[in-house]
Amino acid sequence: MPEQDPKIRSANFEEVALGYDEATARQEAERCLQCKKPGCTVGCPVGVRIPEFILAVREGNMPKAVEEMKVKNNLPAICGRVCPQEVQCEGKCILTKKGEAVAIGRLERFVGDYELAHRTCPLTAAPATGKKIAVVGTGPAGLTCAVDLAREGHKVTMFESLHGPGGVLVYGIPEFRLPKKVVFGEIDYAVECLGIDVRNDHVVGRSISLNELLEQYDAVFLGTGAGLPSFMRIPGINLNGVMSANEFLTRVNLMKGYLFPDYTTPVKLGKKVAVVGGGNVAMDAARCSQRMQAVQAKQTGAGPGEVHIIYRRSKEEVPARAEEFHHAIEEGIICDLLTNPVEIIGDESGKVSKIRCIRMELGEPDTSGRRKPVPIAGSEFEMEMDTVIFALGTSPNPLVFVDADGLERTKHGTAVADDESGRTRKRRVWAGGDVVSGAATVISAMGAGKRAAADMHKFLKDEAPW
Amino acid sequence: MYKILEKQVLSDVVKLMVIEAPHIAQRAKAGQFTIVRIDEQGERIPLTIADYDSKAGTITIIFQEVGQSTMHLGTLNVGDSIASFAGPLGHPTEIENFGTVICTGGGVGIAPIYPIARALKQAGNKVISIIAARNKDLLFWEDKMRAVSDEIHVCTDDGSHGRKGVVTDPLKEILESKKENIAKIWAIGPAIMMKFVSLTTKPFNVPTIVSLNTIMIDGTGMCGGCRVLLDEGAKFVCVDGPEFDGHKVDWSSLMSRLSYYRDEEKAALEHWKEHKCKLDKAIAEGGR
Q: Which of A195, A193, A74 is nearest to A143 (CA)?
A: A74
Residue A338 lies in a domain: yes
Q: What's the confidence (pLDDT) of residue B288?
A: 52
ipTM for the predicted complex comes to: 0.93
Distance of alpha carbon B55 from alpha carbon B22, whole angstroms:
8
Name which residue leads in pLDDT, A82 or B110: B110
Residue A370 lies in a domain: yes
Give the three-state DSSP class for A168: helix
What element of type H or E holds A180? Answer: helix A180-194
Q: What's the confidence (pLDDT) of residue A245?
A: 96
Nearest residue of B to residue A232, measured between CA atoms: B234
Contact A250 B252 (CB under 8 A): no
A321 lies in the same domain as A383: yes
Residue A126 lies in a domain: no
Nearest residue of A to residue B2, measured between CA atoms: A201
The parent domain of residue A453 ranges over 132-227+395-460
Q: Which of A336, A365, A392 is the last residue before a domain boundary?
A: A392
Q: What's the confidence (pLDDT) of residue B9?
A: 94
The pTM for the full model equals 0.93
Q: Which of A44, A48, A57, A34 is nearest to A86 (CA)?
A: A44
Residue A125 lies in a domain: no
Q: What's the confidence (pLDDT) of residue A303?
A: 78
**Following CA atoms A60, A62, A65, A69 in sequence, which dihedral angle do they give, to the nearest 10 degrees?**
150
Average pLDDT, chain A: 93
- pLDDT tens readout for residues A235-245: 999 999 999 99
Q: Which of A356, A373, A392 is the last residue before a domain boundary?
A: A392
- pLDDT tens readout for residues A253-276: 999 999 999 999 999 999 999 999
A372 lies in the same domain as A236: yes
Give me the mean pLDDT over the A414-435 stretch.
Answer: 96
Q: What residues in B contact A213, CB-CB < 8 Å?
A: none
Minimal Cβ distance to B264: which of A171, A254, A268 = A268
Minimal Cβ distance to B41: which of A208, A240, A263 = A263
Residue A260 lies in a domain: yes
Contact A207 B83 (CB under 8 A): no
Contact A255 B44 (CB under 8 A): yes
Domains along the sequence of chain B with CATH: 2-89 (2.40.30.10), 100-258 (3.40.50.80)
Q: How many CA atoms lie within 13 A of A144 on its CB side?
A: 32
A256 lies in the same domain as A295: yes
Contact B256 A268 (CB under 8 A): no
Least confident of A289-303, A375-389, B139-153: A289-303
A438 lies in the same domain as A401: yes
A286 lies in the same domain as A382: yes
Q: How many domains does chain A have?
A: 3
Is A184's pLDDT higher than 70? Answer: yes
Residue A1 lies in a domain: no
Distance of alpha carbon A433 from alpha carbon A397, whole angstroms:
13
A273 lies in the same domain as A190: no
Q: What's the confidence (pLDDT) of residue A248?
A: 97
Nearest residue of A to residue B234, measured between CA atoms: A238
Contact B218 A206 (CB under 8 A): no
Question: What is the edge-to-edge ordering of all strands in the sheet holding B151-156?
Answer: B163-164, B151-156, B126-133, B100-106, B182-188, B208-211, B243-245
Residue A297 lies in a domain: yes
Start-to-end Cα distance in chain B: 31
- pLDDT tens readout for residues A95-144: 988 889 999 999 999 999 999 999 988 888 999 999 999 999 999 999 99
Distance of alpha carbon A291 from alpha carbon A274, whole angstroms:
14
Contact B225 A203 (CB under 8 A): no
DSSP bridge partners of A395: A228
Q: Which of A392, A418, A438 is the last residue before a domain boundary?
A: A392
Contact A238 B217 (CB under 8 A): no
Min CA distance, A163 vs chain B (Å)?
A: 6
Contact A265 B272 (CB under 8 A): no
Minimal Cβ distance to B42: which of A161, A250, A264 = A264
Mutation for A interface: B40, B81, B222, most A CBs within 10 A: B222
pLDDT confidence tier of residue A24, bands split at 50, 70 and 90: very high
A415 lies in the same domain as A363: no
The answer to whether B222 touches B191, Cβ cutoff 8 Å, is no
Nearest residue of B to residue A258, measured between CA atoms: B41
Nearest residue of A to residue B44, measured between CA atoms: A265
A16 lies in the same domain as A27: yes
Over its C-alpha atoms, chain B yields an Rg (Å, rounded) of: 19
Residue A213 lies in a domain: yes
Q: What residues in A contact B23, CB-CB < 8 Å?
A: 199, 201-202, 207-208
Give me the mean pLDDT over the A43-58 stretch.
Answer: 93
A159 lies in the same domain as A201: yes
Which CATH number belongs to the domain containing residue A51 in this structure?
1.10.1060.10
Min CA distance, A75 vs chain B (Å)?
A: 25
Distance of alpha carbon A264 from alpha carbon B77, whole angstroms:
21
Beta-carbon contacts below 8 Å between A and B: 137
A156 lies in the same domain as A292: no
Give me the mean pLDDT over the A228-238 stretch.
Answer: 92
Q: Which of B186, B191, B190 is nearest to B254 (CA)?
A: B191
Minimal Cβ distance to A266: which of B85, B228, B261 = B261
A218 lies in the same domain as A237: no
pLDDT confidence tier of residue A4, bands split at 50, 70 and 90: confident
A296 lies in the same domain as A180: no
Which CATH number belongs to the domain containing residue A209 in this structure?
3.50.50.60
Contact A238 B264 (CB under 8 A): no
Min CA distance, A240 vs chain B (Å)?
A: 6
Mean pLDDT for back-to-back runs of 10 residues, chain B (288 residues): 96 93 95 96 94 96 93 96 96 96 96 95 97 93 96 95 93 91 96 96 96 94 94 92 96 92 92 85 72
